[in-house]
Structure 1
Amino acid sequence: MLAIKSVAEQVFTALAYHKRPMLAYHVFFSLLALLALSPLAGWALAGLIELSGYSMLGNEDLVRFLATPLGVAWMIAAASVFAFLLFFQAAGMLLIAARNQDDVFHTASNALWQVLKRFRQLMKLAAMQVVCHLLLAAPSVIALVWLFQWLLGGYDIYYVINAYPTELFYFLPMAAMLCIALLLGNGLLYASWSLALPAMLLDGYSPRLALTRSWQLIKGARFQVARIILFAALFTLLLPILFTVAFDALGSALMAWLPGPLILQVTLMGLLIVIYVLLAVVLAFFAVGVNSLLLLKLYLRCCGHQPTPLTELEPRTTARLAWAFEAALAVIAISQLVWIAHSFDERDTVSNIAHRGASWDAPENSLAAIAVAIEQGADYIELDVQQTADGTLVLLHDRDLLRVAGDRRAIWDIEYDELAQLDAGSWFSVEFADQRVPTLEQAIELIRGRANLYLEIKTAPQMPNLVADTVAELQRLNFVEQTVVAALSPRVLNQALALEPDLRASLLVHTAIGTMAGHPYDMLGLRDGIVTPSQVRAARRSDYALHVWTVNNRRDMHRFIDMGVDGIITDVPALLTEVMQERNELNRSERLLLRMRHWVW
């Protein structure tokens, strides 16, 4: 009934025939989304977060927030907005390729107007599908969480990631089956409702009836439809990925091979960036166009209609739209180039923050790792503090000693005298067999006068006095001015600052939603995957220093320095020292070329 080859031929024929107005609509939609839809959606979602009482959500607060009715509403709203934007773009493409009641094709501007008139219907359709998909996924997600807690909940997550306990190999196949069930169920539901959009647009169904109509049309052919849609999705997803990989390889090869003066290299780099942006926009259009036309052709087939003949001339002039599209592409490309140039920061120095010491060269949080990090030029030594059963402050990341000493006991269940006898270095290398879990006092005395301390307080209910005792120890050792206290929880930092207002504080953020403003901290420590130039600028406006973690390769170090971050947390402080020395030896033009090269390649 539904042959992939036959449908693909019709889709690509229609795309070739309608490419001009569809390209123009793609530009219209992109500009509308950039200037109006995305900002409005962002403001609305930010308003929901503001109602929650948080201005920025990290890991702990994010989980707590999403577990509330307001958090569930935010999640549904965010997913609905994303689905709505996809429907909005696909709807215009679909209308352009289908004749209206007067048996003529829609122009790009007319299609945009028709879609705008159906704004509420599209939003309702998106919200209905999102809610149903979330409800269908909920049992599998709950079962996945329960399975993890049952098999691996007794381990520290860092131990699971690095040591691969036996229970992990029981968990993975069962988790895979749950994920397959989740994907299969939601995939079939998506396929069953895939024709709701054309049903609503072309035959005037309400969102609810359009979903019912789609279900009826695909009944008996769900696996065939799912196969075609999955094939198209994989094709359109892989195409830009392959393009990016190929273009990166080409750019790297050209920049490595090209001799001659610096101005020639800078010119070529700028030209490559413009070409990259232009091709990326075209590929984005191609992906959306293929998927939109696929929905149209499937709908016509399932309804029993013959495909619309494409031999007659389109009743519109496309030349001006084509020129407008090409001009818009040029403006976008130039804007991207200007944006990249303005994203660079003139400063070339950052704080070198050694993550748990030089943890690639010595056991993490050990005195050896601290000593090596200082020798490698670290400005700050980032360490993790916890508390033993008898109240001694010690340096340890995990909640138990399984990974570093082979002891399953939690740190709060062992007294320091016994802890001091355990080998905490052989797990890394036999040459560090003499290393023990050090106390905070030992670390401070080693650091004093040679570097500063970046101290993450790893709280747990079993250590109720940890924050107060840590602050008291910093005060006793007269090391407050040389210390930055850090935590994933704002409550921990607020408690520390209440006890010692002169402390500097850094909020560590793995995942963030919301704005940066409103926190009484000196610094934000963001995971490398969520740091963007706009966040750097927002941190400047809010008077925060911005640190990024954990960055361990040369290219990313260059990129974050170019963004203008204030500090880089790394496991290899020697590499960051080397990178900064290299940059200090370059002139302004060479530095510009380096920035452009590391930004793109």
Structure 2
Amino acid sequence: MGLKDDMGTIWVLFRKHWKQFLAIHLAASLLVFAVLGPLLSLVVGWAVLASGDAALTDQDILFYFLSPRGFLLLLFAAALAITVAVFESAANLVAGYRARQSESVGLWRLGRFMLMRLQDLFQLSLRMLLKLVLLTAPFMAVAGFIFFRYLTEFDINYYLQERPPEFWTAGALIVVILLLMAVLLFRMLSGWVLALPLLLLGQGKPGEVLGLSQQLVAGHRRQLMLLLAVWVLVFAGLSALVSAVLDLGAWAAMAMAGSSLERLAWFMGGVVAVWSLLNFFVSLLAGVTLMLGILLLYERLAQDLPAQASRQLALLDAQHDWQVPGRWVLLGLVTLIVVAAFVFLQQFKQLKPEQVPEVMAHRGASWDAPENTLAAIRTAIEQGADWVEIDVQETAEGNVVVMHDRDLMKVAGSPLTAFDAPLVELQAVDIGSWKDPKFSAERVPLFADVLALAKDRIKVNIELKYYGRETRLEERVAALVEQAGMEDQVVIMSLSLPGVRKMQQLRPSWPTGLLASVSLGDLTRLEVDFFAVNARFANRRFVTLAQERERSVLTWTVNDFALMSAMISKGVDGIITDRPGLAKEVIRQHKTLDPYERFLVQLASKFGSRFNIEQ
């Protein structure tokens, strides 16, 4: 049989048994949502709690999972995640096998069969994971060596911004290493495509099926590659089509609704319901057809193996298929439209225009002036920012300077570091001309000078920077703030949770916050006053939960109109931006939006700023 015949067979099987596959999809989704998903969350949460904290952020995640205990917990959690991910695919494979025999399988008996094989699936997932780790570890080690050999002499931000020759050399070498790794990974993963049918349909054991699958696939990779390529192209096209439906439907809904918010809610509810239904169907079709394609390949390549079906397949006999009447599908669609419209209306009612976030100038108004300079802070004051966010480091002489990177390479091309260079040498370097020659007089400012400029004019968000050689940074920062009489005009934050906790011990009444880009666990349970999180991860649920627990939420770095509007709609307490003037203007405009326009902002927030709300 050729590819065309296989595609025809797959389509006939899907069309004939689509109700059964739909039932499997719904039941598996419910099981993952109600049981397997929470179990995975519990394992991840337990792994995080084993670290001694309710949550881990950024580099702490890496350091913990590189420890022996953390690595073992990571393997266990990752294997469980793979098991959860393939559970529905495995069920579709078994149902497809029965369909090929012109027999249906009862949903309950299929579920019982799958749960009985759950341990085998987990063991298979764990073995796959270990083999992947063994394959990738040498390549990652070589890539890491190249990185440390070429890209650690200066601060990483210098390499990312200036891209000197060593950046391109290291980048090219790392790309070659990763491409080679990707080729071997793809070869290994593609060789495992028959592992599931060998495990579930035959009597293969988790320790045997990976090797046996590679033996069967060897010599037939071209056939496999063609099957996978066609599958990817078809469903990439369908996904793009579904995305276009949302775009066109949204604009049509806005055009038909006119100025009526209620009509807009109902029309958008219908559009989102249809879009969700199409996404659901494409997801169902993609998952089922891939498994059916693998099943046909298994039947063809494993036909010379001894015919020994799994004894547990007998559990699938003597059970009626679950029928899904068409009227229930129609009722489900109508219900989905009504619920979607209701949700849109409720979210509109929950919008609170009186909640206005404060604007924090990121390293000063660094869009218009060189970062962390007195000029940037003066510009932030002129643009009406509520706060200025600055970075502070400790020098070997015991001074505290305002400086982000560990050296001056990015802003001045100078290798001087805060801890190694005398203050007089640091302040001899021009750190403004890279932005504009008119800033040539700008120098690395003392923290005390920034406080003097900001006092009673703008509040200061102080980020403590740690590069491994600090001795009394927290004490010195606290003393300088008190000398300036600005205890009620500052907050302290850092990427380092130990640093935040040390400041809490020194000054328990001062507001302190944790800076985070990624996290594991329940971040909102950490004992801090606020979180400064990457705007990409500031979803409404996190913002609401944090505020319910009396933690404020700041988001960074928010520099465009649409994202600022989205953050306002999500109810964040502060926006950290390089463009405080623009942020103030966006907030002013947001206050004047009528309900219709504010509803569109909410939609933009939900759908990734698809709609040009700036208009």
Per the normalisation by structure 2, the TM-score is 0.89
Conserved 8 A contact 2:416-2:426:
no
Q: CA deviation at 1:407?
A: 0.6
Q: Distance in 2 between matches of 1:324 and 1:133?
A: 44
Which position in structure 2 is the counterpart of 1:136?
135
Equivalent position SS for 2:359: strand
1:184 aligns with 2:191: no
Equivalent position SS for 1:384: strand
Q: CA deviation at 1:390?
A: 2.6
Equivalent position SS for 1:397: coil
Range with bigger deviation, 145-154 or 537-546? 537-546
Conserved 8 A contact 1:394-1:437:
yes
Which position in structure 2 is the counterpart of 1:320?
324
After superposition, residues 103-182 of structure 1 pair within 5 angstroms as 104-182=103-181
Q: CA deviation at 1:456?
A: 0.6
Which position in structure 1 is the counterpart of 2:70?
71
Equivalent position SS for 1:18: helix
Which position in structure 2 is the counterpart of 1:346?
352
Q: CA deviation at 1:510?
A: 1.4
Which position in structure 1 is the counterpart of 2:252?
254
User: Which AA in structure 2 matches 1:359?
Assistant: S
Q: Distance in 2 between matches of 1:356 and 1:330?
A: 51
Deviation digits for residues 227-268 of structure 1 (CA, Å, limit 9, x no counterpart)? 5335534654x3465246424542564367557222333332
Conserved 8 A contact 1:352-1:576:
yes
Q: Distance in 2 between matches of 1:290 and 1:255?
A: 33
Q: CA deviation at 1:399?
A: 0.6
Cα RMSD of the aligned pairs, angstroms, is 2.7
User: Which AA in structure 1 matches 2:186?
Assistant: G
Which position in structure 2 is the counterpart of 1:279?
278
Conserved 8 A contact 1:485-1:504:
yes
Q: Distance in 1 between matches of 2:35 and 2:542?
A: 20
1:381 aligns with 2:381: no
Q: Distance in 1 between matches of 2:368 and 2:563?
A: 20
After superposition, residues 439-478 of structure 1 pair within 5 angstroms as 439-478=446-485
Q: Distance in 1 between matches of 2:206 and 2:330?
A: 36
1:533 aligns with 2:537: no
Q: Distance in 2 between matches of 1:335 and 1:298?
A: 42
Equivalent position SS for 1:454: strand
Q: Distance in 1 between matches of 2:471 and 2:61?
A: 22
Q: Distance in 2 between matches of 1:390 and 1:367?
A: 22
Q: Distance in 2 between matches of 1:346 and 1:302?
A: 62
After superposition, residues 453-532 of structure 1 pair within 5 angstroms as 453-532=460-539
Conserved 8 A contact 1:356-1:381:
yes
Conserved 8 A contact 1:193-1:215:
yes
Conserved 8 A contact 1:24-1:321:
no
User: Which AA in structure 2 matches 1:346?
Assistant: K
1:596 aligns with 2:603: yes
Q: CA deviation at 1:513?
A: 0.5
User: Which AA in structure 1 matches 2:500?
Assistant: L
Q: Distance in 2 between matches of 1:324 and 1:109?
A: 20
Question: How many pairs does the alignment contain?
Answer: 592
> Percent identity among equivalent residues?
27
User: Which AA in structure 2 matches 1:91?
Assistant: A
Q: Distance in 2 between matches of 1:106 and 1:117?
A: 16
User: Which AA in structure 1 matches 2:51?
Assistant: S
User: Which AA in structure 2 matches 1:250?
Assistant: L
Range with bigger deviation, 265-274 or 101-110? 101-110
Deviation digits for residues 207-235 of structure 1 (CA, Å, limit 9, x no counterpart)? 22322331221122345424533553465
Q: CA deviation at 1:461?
A: 2.4
1:221 aligns with 2:220: yes
Deviation digits for residues 108-139 of structure 1 (CA, Å, limit 9, x no counterpart)? 44433322232212122112111211221111
Conserved 8 A contact 1:516-1:538:
no
Q: Distance in 1 between matches of 2:159 and 2:245?
A: 37
- Shift in alpha-carbon separation, 1:325–1:89, aligned structure 2, 3 A: farther
User: Which AA in structure 1 matches 2:485?
Assistant: N
Q: CA deviation at 1:329?
A: 5.8
Q: CA deviation at 1:392?
A: 2.4
Deviation digits for residues 499-536 of structure 1 (CA, Å, limit 9, x no counterpart)? 22222111001110011254321001111222222222
Deviation digits for residues 516-571 of structure 1 (CA, Å, limit 9, x no counterpart)? 25432100111122222222233134321111111222222222222222212111
Deviation digits for residues 385-417 of structure 1 (CA, Å, limit 9, x no counterpart)? 113343322211111111111211222222222
- Shift in alpha-carbon separation, 1:103–1:7, aligned structure 2, 3 A: closer
Deviation digits for residues 9-58 of structure 1 (CA, Å, limit 9, x no counterpart)? 43333323322211221111112212222112111221122122121111
Equivalent position SS for 1:383: strand
Q: Distance in 1 between matches of 2:154 and 2:229?
A: 38
User: Which AA in structure 2 matches 1:21?
Assistant: Q
Range with bigger deviation, 590-599 or 484-493? 590-599
Q: Distance in 2 between matches of 1:123 and 1:587?
A: 53
Q: CA deviation at 1:580?
A: 1.4
- Shift in alpha-carbon separation, 1:227–1:464, aligned structure 2, 3 A: farther
Which position in structure 1 is the counterpart of 2:310?
none
- Shift in alpha-carbon separation, 1:352–1:130, aligned structure 2, 3 A: same
Structure 2 portions without partners, runs of 5+: 305-318, 611-615
Conserved 8 A contact 2:374-2:450:
yes
Structure 1 portions without partners, runs of 5+: 306-314
Per the normalisation by structure 1, the TM-score is 0.91
After superposition, residues 92-107 of structure 1 pair within 5 angstroms as 92-99=91-98, 104-107=103-106
User: Which AA in structure 2 matches 1:464?
Assistant: T
Which position in structure 2 is the counterpart of 1:396?
403
